[in-house]
Structure 1
Amino acid sequence: MHEMTHGVALPETPREFGFFINGEWRRGRELFERNSPSHDVPVTRTSRCTPDDVNDAVAAARQAFEDRRWAGLPGGARAAVLLRAAEGIRQRREEIATWEVLENGKPISQARGEIDHCIACFETAAGAARLLHGESFNNLGDGLFGMVLREPVGVVGLITPWNFPFLILCERVPFILASGCTLVVKPAEVTSATTLILADILADAGLPAGVYNVVTGTGRSIGQTLTEHPDVDMLSFTGSTAVGRSCVHASADSNLKKLGLELGGKNPIIVFADANLEDAADGAAFGISFNTGQCCVSSSRLIVERSVADRFERILAEKMKKIRVGDPFDPQTQVGAITTAGQNETILKYIAAGKSEGARVLVGGEALQCGHGRYIEPTLFSGVTPSMTIAREEIFGPVLSSFHFDTLEEAIAIANDTVYGLAASVWSKNIDQALSVTRRVRAGRFWVNTIMAGGPETPTGGFKQSGWGRETGLLGVEEYTQAKSVHIEIGDRSHWIAS
């Protein structure tokens, strides 16, 4: 008998997945069993691949790249495959959302919204495949013509995290495919299902065998093998800054492969006294609680003007108390389960450190007992000083630290007082203030009087230790290309050696 939760049947037995190389499914000898972080039942079994499997996947991607079965197609033909894939995702939207919830613990309503964004990524990349172009230089004199060609970089290794298994995958894959590259993908071990489902969707859409390959297993073994692989031309990694640093070392020690890195964040949300405080409070509550706070762009540092700080924190605390935490299959749930036991422990340690270092808990601050699964209350700390652990380190959970400022200069200084620079948000009805902050706070994504807005049309990425390169938009396709300068002589050569 299937156990039901909010109309959804939990799996009676875990769904088994193979891994995908050169258009074929393979099964690993060793399997990893994943329990749902919200229901404590086994939901998937995925293969633990070996370094030999990675070598096979890279060889398949290399062959597919070199024989030009994908790179040699017109952009319009690649676009057609990406559009069919978008339709395939649309048709399997509920299935993909369900497996995201089962493995990750995020609310079902959020998962569905993310998949709509993923469909938009494929549609945007399809347009970009047609629009990708080089340049011509017709200004080199009558005897010389110049061109800059955009060529795919080659075989791309893609390592994705467990917090947005499908969304981050789809903010990368269609743009990489639009460029003409081939791929070997290594999803996070605890959330591999939807990356494997995409293999079927792409195959059904007409993607040639060998262009999209998936290997599964641990970061330490399979991720490391892929990162060090001498026949991978570029590696795209999304995850912690510490692991990003190890990718840099691995690149240096192997073939100096190009890297695209989206790493940690400690993102400021700056609220001025003239802002609509109700709107800003709602934005701050959403910004720290979205995806259970397990979000690299979550607004984890509230920087609020001192004259309204007490009032604003009261409004925000009231809002955060009303956030619905619980079973992610309940469509009303706003905050789901913490994805891994290790992350749950980490967040609770940071909350304990905030308390012991003298910050004041205004709301939350405790684990929630729901009978099963791992849940933490959205938490607001006030009286945070810049030297506190919770002020400086990425918590990756629903924990917001509040700082106060008196002047615009001070707000900017606090916002920039971090090694990170991924995202930032400012709330003010004064255009001069809002623009000054936007220009001077160092972050790759910026929101004014909103939070986490925007689509795949614009690029994403970080400043400082938040990463290298850009994803999505036309820049997200160009990231996976090389620029080649070409010069063509017109007419006869002027001889260097006199006859």
Structure 2
Amino acid sequence: MRDLSELAASLRLPSEPVRTPMFIDGKDYAGATGEWVSRKSPGHGVPVTATSRASTGDLDTAVAAARRAFDDGRWSRLSGEQRAAVLLKTASLIRENAETLAYLETLESGKPIGQSRGEVTAAAGIWEYAAGLARVVHGDSHDTLGNDMFGLVVRQPVGVVGIITPWNFPFFILSERLPFALAAGCTVVVKPAELTSTTTLKLAALLTEAGLPDGVVNVVTGLGPVIGQALAEHMDVDMISFTGSTPVGRSVLTAAGCNMKKVGLELGGKNPQMVFADADLDDAADAIAFGISFNAGQCCVSGSRLVVHRSVEEELVERVKAVLEKVKVGDPLDASNHVGAIVEARQFDKIRGYIDAGRRDGAQLVCGGTSSNEGDKLFIQPTVFRNVQPGSALAQEEIFGPILAVTPFDTFEQAIQLANGVPFGLAASIWTRDLQGAIKSFREVQAGRIWVNCTITGGPEMPIGGVKQSGIGRETGRYGVEEYTELKSVHIQLGNRPRWIA
């Protein structure tokens, strides 16, 4: 990545697309088709990267490499201390290459460069945390089975893991999964989103530089319906971890049934910001504006619904509007901008469709609603609608864009009903000065992650994941390593076994 460091330092666009081949069995891998797919920057409208389009044969090669690497124990049978050393070295290399990784992330995703920098450095912290867990993975013992029996519960790596990551946080979301799978002793085949594959490929090279044995991590690039589906169906893959939309998650779950592989899914969200009458409205307004603008709303835990007590609704909406009026939308390589581009034209059109639907359904447009796609540069202003009906598309469907739907409530029971009245249960934020009310709220809200008087924050110590149609399983925290293990019960007879037939 040294050749890219100067370009990243100057924040100039590359004169030609940065080409990065696949990574299989510790080496660059061109692929059987030799076909390259160019990626245009959604913030600049010009080609910036190119990656290989894999065939299912290429995927088979990657899975075979991961299978060999797991079965011969080159990684799975190392001590936790040895695995931790590689993960720590990887974290150090991520920090050394943070500017280049952030630059590539911004080119492909369209997010602001400051956000990309923050995500890359935070990802390094996750690798450091996971390194510690590599040394504490443990099972259990049972010394209560009688004088002649001793029991052990052994926790072992699940095997070959397929990790399918989305386009919105390609480096960070991978770092919430991959180091934990490696800490557990698994080998991995990664299929990044076709729109944002380059930083994943660069990470694979850094892993080799850090001392990871060949074949332990392999990266195959290509289309989700082809390569992602084939990975989920693959008979030689023991577990699949998928992050993305709920509809695609259903297809992954079905595909995984072919060999009953273990499945981890983090899927869509329609997350409420619940604001009670006693909340600090200035604090809440700033967080609500951030929650809907972060990554241009292309965030599974985005606070896309404002469920607010009627007595403070008008005042709070005005404060949110005032914050959003200060938000700068534009060139993601300009560090002064808060919001970058929409990732691609299909997503841009989808978000625009929801804005049009809000107007048709009679919701009140408070601010935003404007967009620009001149020269294939895709930008949408953060948008707020009031008087959104609970059953409408704005209130029920994951938009994945910077649109906030506001619905008032009168009673605590109505607030909980509105918060839980969607198919999803990924995250929620609760705003109140009343500790008792906050505890009562987070006990009743159906979500895997809840923030009280804050939003979209936290580190790798805590688990993440959803309930209802937002997913299965948990990532990060000590649970993140356990997710990539299986339990084995062992009974040890002490002395002679009682005879069946004397």
- 1:330 deviates by 1.2
- Mapped partners of 1:377, 1:330: distance in 2: 17
- 1:329 deviates by 1.1
- 1:321 deviates by 1.5
Mapping 1:125-204, distance limit 5 Å: 125-204=130-209
Q: Per-residue displacement from partner, 1:66-106 (whole Å, max 9, x unpaired)?
A: 00000000001000000000000000000000000000000
Across the aligned residues of Structure 1 and Structure 2, the Cα RMSD in angstroms comes to: 1.3
Mapping 1:310-459, distance limit 5 Å: 310-368=314-372, 373-459=377-463
Q: 1:16 is matched with which residue?
A: 19
Q: Contact between 2:272 and 2:306, CA under 8 Å: does it hold in 1? A: yes
Q: Contact between 1:287 and 1:298, CA under 8 Å: does it hold in 2? A: yes
Q: 1:35 is matched with which residue?
A: 40
The secondary structure found in structure 2 opposite 1:213 is strand
- Mapped partners of 1:462, 1:259: distance in 2: 14
The aligned amino acid for 1:218 is L
The secondary structure found in structure 1 opposite 2:433 is coil
Matching of residue 91 in structure 1 with residue 124 in structure 2: no
Q: 1:480 is matched with which residue?
A: 484
Mapping 1:150-299, distance limit 5 Å: 150-252=155-257, 254-299=258-303
- 1:368 deviates by 3.6
Q: Pick the aligned partner of 2:79 from 74, 77, 88.
A: 74
- Mapped partners of 1:237, 1:101: distance in 2: 23
Q: 2:126 is matched with which residue?
A: 121
- Mapped partners of 2:212, 2:335: distance in 1: 35
Give the fraction of aligned pairs with identical amino acids, expressed as a percent: 56
The secondary structure found in structure 2 opposite 1:358 is coil
The secondary structure found in structure 2 opposite 1:37 is coil
Q: Contact between 1:323 and 1:335, CA under 8 Å: does it hold in 2? A: yes
Q: Contact between 1:326 and 1:370, CA under 8 Å: does it hold in 2? A: no
The aligned amino acid for 1:390 is L
Structure 1 residue runs of 5 or longer lacking an equivalent are: none
Q: Contact between 2:8 and 2:100, CA under 8 Å: does it hold in 1? A: no
Q: 2:70 is matched with which residue?
A: 65
- Mapped partners of 1:261, 1:116: distance in 2: 25
Per the normalisation by structure 2, the TM-score is 0.97
Q: Per-residue displacement from partner, 1:113-159 (whole Å, max 9, x unpaired)?
A: 11111011100100010011001111111111111100000000010
- 1:24 deviates by 1.1
The secondary structure found in structure 1 opposite 2:488 is strand
Q: Pick the aligned partner of 1:105 from 106, 110, 114.
A: 110
The secondary structure found in structure 2 opposite 1:190 is coil
Q: Contact between 1:267 and 1:300, CA under 8 Å: does it hold in 2? A: yes
Q: Contact between 2:8 and 2:103, CA under 8 Å: does it hold in 1? A: no
The secondary structure found in structure 2 opposite 1:403 is strand
Moved over 3 A (4+): 4-7, 368-372
- 1:313 deviates by 0.7
The aligned amino acid for 1:401 is A
- 1:224 deviates by 1.1
The secondary structure found in structure 2 opposite 1:9 is coil
The aligned amino acid for 2:496 is D
Distance 1:55 1:6, change over 3 A: closer
The aligned amino acid for 1:290 is F
- Mapped partners of 1:304, 1:21: distance in 2: 51
Q: Contact between 1:34 and 1:44, CA under 8 Å: does it hold in 2? A: yes
Q: Pick the aligned partner of 2:468 from 464, 467, 471.
A: 464
Per the normalisation by structure 1, the TM-score is 0.98
- 1:369 deviates by 6.1
The aligned amino acid for 1:490 is L
- The count of corresponding residues between Structure 1 and Structure 2 is 495
The secondary structure found in structure 1 opposite 2:195 is helix
Structure 2 residue runs of 5 or longer lacking an equivalent are: none
Q: Contact between 1:6 and 1:330, CA under 8 Å: does it hold in 2? A: no
The secondary structure found in structure 1 opposite 2:135 is helix
The secondary structure found in structure 2 opposite 1:261 is strand
